[in-house]
Amino acid sequence: MAGNLLQTKLYLPRLRPALIARPQLIERLSQGVHRKLTLVSAPAGFGKTTLISAWITNRERVAWLSLDEGDAEPLRFLTYFVGALRTLFPTIGEEIMATLQSLQLPPIEATMSALLNEIAATAAEFILVLDDYHVIDSQPIDDSLIFLLEHQPPQMHLVITTREDPAFPLARWRARGQMTELRAADLRFSATEAGGFLNQVMGLNLSPAEINALENRTEGWIAGLQMAALSIQGRADTAAFIDAFTGSHRYVLDYLVEEVLQRQPERVRNFLLATSILQQLTGPLCDAITGQEDGAEMLESLERGNLFVVPLDDQRSWYRYHHLFAEVLGAHLFKERPDWVAELHQKASRWYEQNQQPAAAIRHALAAPDFERAANLIEMTYPAMASGFRPATWLGWVHALPDEIVRLRPVLNLGWAYGLLNRGEWTGVDHYLSRAEWSLDPATAADAVVVNEEAFRTLPFNLTNARAYLS
């Protein structure tokens, strides 16, 4: 897997030219760098990633890992974790990376011990940022980081941004003075900061009273302020608009996104809705699903207009929507254009397949849902699964398929059995091996569906090995 790391997950985020300076928060972060952990925990839209990005701009050695749901697989997480460290120390973790390619996940504590020994041998101080840790729902991963933090060398500092507190012994670390915490109350904009953001960054000309009203309505919630500013731009009835919304963050955001979408030209609105299905955005991919040829220009225009797109690389080839914005756009897509959804996912799946990104191709095929296509793609990834690459993820894909499709595919059934064995789960292994063996019976072989001929050719050998392992 080492050669298959998605490099954009390891890039340091790019800062916008215009940002509100937050010197007090930056100072708190800097003062905490000699502790083990900095935890930035707040709901979506409070500027967690932006703040950390601004802070690390002047730090010498920083590694970054942007997490997503797929990283809840311990094998994948550890591989990316080591990969992030290798952006600073290219030779670190070579043996560990080789071990992670094996069929079985090595004991996490042993892996972390080996990694800690290598970190301790480095002289340079550094920071490792784990962004969006709330997507990790894995006790083994939590345990691995607890072990790391309990034994962390002094030259390493870990930063975690998250929407919710991880299952760590935070009270103990807090009592020992081993962590720095920033929470929503710390991150929310003051009236002064809100005024600078609205009038300087977003280009408005609001009075102090209007700024105070917006700050009170949003409780300093940065995403709400940004969306409100987009709604206000060009309006004559600013005061009436500010008085028109109140309520929870989610209610405010839904209301404001609706306002912003209504004000966009139809072409831009359709682009936003169509591309809301994508976790990452690049011009050619957007072109493939919209049928247009100006995806790159559209993304640049959205960034210039502060429409919640986040650049992921220095070249500004890849972007993503702010998570909150993407969620609400997706809801509008399902409400307004439900007939688009399946076709958009199918187009995205084809583009990812053509660009050698099978995991994303499978994800969109399942979302379509185009189960036959998804089954074909999953079957073609069997060799990677069999070599130890993301077995839990692979099993999740197969589990999402209807059983009437899976039962006719011997390669999928063999892979299911091997995936269970990988995880040390014996229940069900014999069942899936028997279903794979069914395809070798001349009386029933004609009903079998095979896409991966190479995997099917080695089926008897792999079945024999699995049976021998069970015995």
pLDDT for the residue 102: 64
Residue type for 129, please?
V
Residues 177 and 207 both lie in one domain: no
Q: Does any domain span residue 364? A: no
Q: Does any domain span residue 365? A: no
pLDDT for the residue 389: 52
d(CA 393, CA 387): 13
Q: Does any domain span residue 131? A: yes
Residues 223 and 316 both lie in one domain: no
Q: Two tokens at 230?
A: 């987009």
Last residue within a domain, chosen from 154, 183, 212 = 183
pLDDT for the residue 194: 96
| Beta pairing partners, 309 | 321
Name the band, by pLDDT with cuts 50, 70 and 90, for residue 117. Answer: very high
Quote the pTM value: 0.74
Residues 253 and 275 both lie in one domain: no
**What DSSP letter does each residue of 383-404 carry, written as one string?**
HHHHTTS-HHHHHHHHHTS-HH
d(CA 159, CA 180): 9
What does pLDDT average to over the chain?
Answer: 90
CATH code for position 56: 3.40.50.300
Listed residue (59, 61, 2, 73) closest to 26, CA to CA: 59
Name the H helices within 264-409: 266-275, 283-290, 295-304, 323-336, 338-354, 358-367, 371-380, 382-386, 391-399, 403-406
d(CA 289, CA 295): 10
- Tell how strand 318-321 and strand 309-311 pair up: antiparallel
Residues 280 and 409 both lie in one domain: no
Q: Choose between 253 and 23: higher pLDDT.
A: 23
Residues 386 and 291 both lie in one domain: no
Residues 104 and 176 both lie in one domain: yes
Residues 19 and 143 both lie in one domain: yes
Vertex 121 angle, CA 117 and 125, to 5°:
110
Q: Does any domain span residue 91? A: yes
Distances 99 to 9, 65, 106, 108 between C-alpha atoms, Å: 22, 21, 7, 11
Last residue within a domain, chosen from 220, 242, 262 = 262
Residues 15 and 148 both lie in one domain: yes
Q: Choose between 219 and 465: higher pLDDT.
A: 465
Q: Does any domain span residue 305? A: yes
Name the band, by pLDDT with cuts 50, 70 and 90, for residue 390. Answer: low
Strand order in the sheet with 126-131: 62-66, 126-131, 156-162, 37-41, 179-183
Provide φ and ψ at 272, rounded to 5°. -60, -45
| Beta pairing partners, 183 | 41
Name the band, by pLDDT with cuts 50, 70 and 90, for residue 219. Answer: confident
Residue-wise pLDDT for 105-115, tens only, equals 678 888 999 99
Backbone φ/ψ region at 247: left (φ over 0), alpha (ψ -120 to 50), beta: left
Listed residue (196, 188, 203, 254) closest to 51, CA to CA: 188
Residue-wise pLDDT for 147-156, tens only, equals 999 999 999 9
Name the band, by pLDDT with cuts 50, 70 and 90, for residue 86. Answer: very high
Last residue within a domain, chosen from 262, 288, 316 = 262
Name the band, by pLDDT with cuts 50, 70 and 90, for residue 357. Answer: very high
Answer yes or no: are the C-beta atoms of 226 and 202 closer than 8 Å. yes
- In which domain, by residue range, is 8 found? 2-183
d(CA 241, CA 228): 9
Residues 316 and 276 both lie in one domain: yes
Q: Does any domain span residue 360? A: no
Q: Does any domain span residue 199? A: yes
* Averaged pLDDT, 167-188: 95
CATH code for position 327: 1.10.10
Lowest mean pLDDT among 169-173, 318-322, 389-393: 389-393
Residue-wise pLDDT for 2-47, tens only, equals 457 889 999 999 887 778 999 999 999 999 999 999 999 998 889 9
What's the DSSP call for residue 1? -
d(CA 329, CA 325): 6
Q: Does residue 66 surpass a pLDDT of 70? A: yes
Q: Does residue 306 surpass a pLDDT of 80? A: no
Residues 242 and 390 both lie in one domain: no
Lowest mean pLDDT among 91-95, 249-253, 421-425: 249-253
- Number of separate domains in the chain: 4
pLDDT for the residue 411: 95
* Averaged pLDDT, 457-463: 92
pLDDT for the residue 325: 84
Residues 115 and 233 both lie in one domain: no
Residues 106 and 211 both lie in one domain: no
Q: Does any domain span residue 359? A: no
What's the DSSP call for residue 293? S
pLDDT for the residue 257: 78
Q: Two tokens at 217?
A: 């309505």
Q: Does residue 246 surpass a pLDDT of 90? A: no
Q: Does residue 1 surpass a pLDDT of 50? A: no
Residues 6+ apart with CB under 8 A from 223: 44, 45, 46, 249, 253, 322, 324, 325
